[in-house]
Amino acid sequence: MHRGVGGTWEAEAPGVLRLPSGRLVRGRGLRHGPVEGPEPGLGVYLLGEEPPVVPWESRWVPWPDFRLPRDRAGARETLRIAWERAERDRVEVACHGGRGRTGTALACMAVLDGVEPGEAVAYVRRHYDRRAVETPWQKRYVRRFGSELAG
Q: What is the rounded CA–CA span in Å between residue 7 and residue 31? A: 26
pLDDT over threshold 50, residue 3: no
Can you tell me the mean pLDDT for 22-46? 95
The verdict on residue 98 lying in a domain is yes
Closest CA to 15 of 34, 4, 1: 34
Range of the domain at 32: 16-150
Q: What is the rounded CA–CA span in Å between residue 124 and residue 138? A: 13
Write down the number of H helices and E strands in the chain: 4, 5
Instruction: Report which DSSP code applies to 116.
Output: -
Mean pLDDT score across all residues of the chain: 93
Prediction pTM value? 0.93
The verdict on residue 121 lying in a domain is yes
Domain containing residue 34: CATH number: 3.90.190.10
Side chain identity at residue 142, one-letter code: V
Domains identified in the chain, total number: 1
